[in-house]
């Protein structure tokens, strides 16, 4: 294979990668727009989108990671005197 044909193959590969990335970026932008619309719809129905985003974030976490974070949050809140005391219903 000559250097010219090697360069041509590399150029073709680079172009193909760039075109694929550009297509995926367009799809990503479209999906982000769709997600934004769903949050707007939820907000229009009276839901707190900040809480919904937090729930989506929590659901992405591993169960053990989530439990560890919740335990740390409780520990820190207790240290700051901000922990909510359990009600009689919780006991």
| For residue 10, pLDDT beyond 90 | yes
Higher local confidence (pLDDT), 41 or 89: 41
Q: Which of 20, 28, 58, 55 is nearest to 39 (CA)?
A: 55
Q: Are 43 and 49 in contact (CB under 8 A)?
A: yes
Residue 47's pLDDT is what?
98
Give yes or no for residue 1 having a pLDDT over 60: no
Q: What is the mean pLDDT of residues 74-88?
A: 85
- DSSP, collapsed to helix, strand or coil, labels residue 62 as coil
pLDDT tens digit sequence for 21-78: 999 999 999 999 999 999 999 999 999 999 999 999 999 999 999 999 999 999 999 9
The pLDDT score that the predictor gives to residue 2 is: 57
**pTM check: above 0.75:** no
Nearest Cα residue to 80 out of 89, 72, 68? 72
């Amino acid at each position: 294979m000559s250097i010219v044909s090697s360069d041509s193959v590399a150029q073709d590969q680079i172009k193909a990668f760039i075109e694929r990335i550009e297509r995926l970026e367009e799809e990503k932008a479209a999906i982000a727009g769709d997600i934004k619309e769903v949050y707007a719809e939820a907000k229009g129905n009276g839901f707190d989108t900040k809480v919904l985003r937090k729930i989506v974030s929590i659901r992405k976490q591993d169960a053990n990671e989530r439990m560890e974070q919740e335990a740390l949050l409780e520990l820190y809140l207790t240290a700051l005197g901000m922990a909510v005391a359990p009600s009689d219903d919780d006991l």
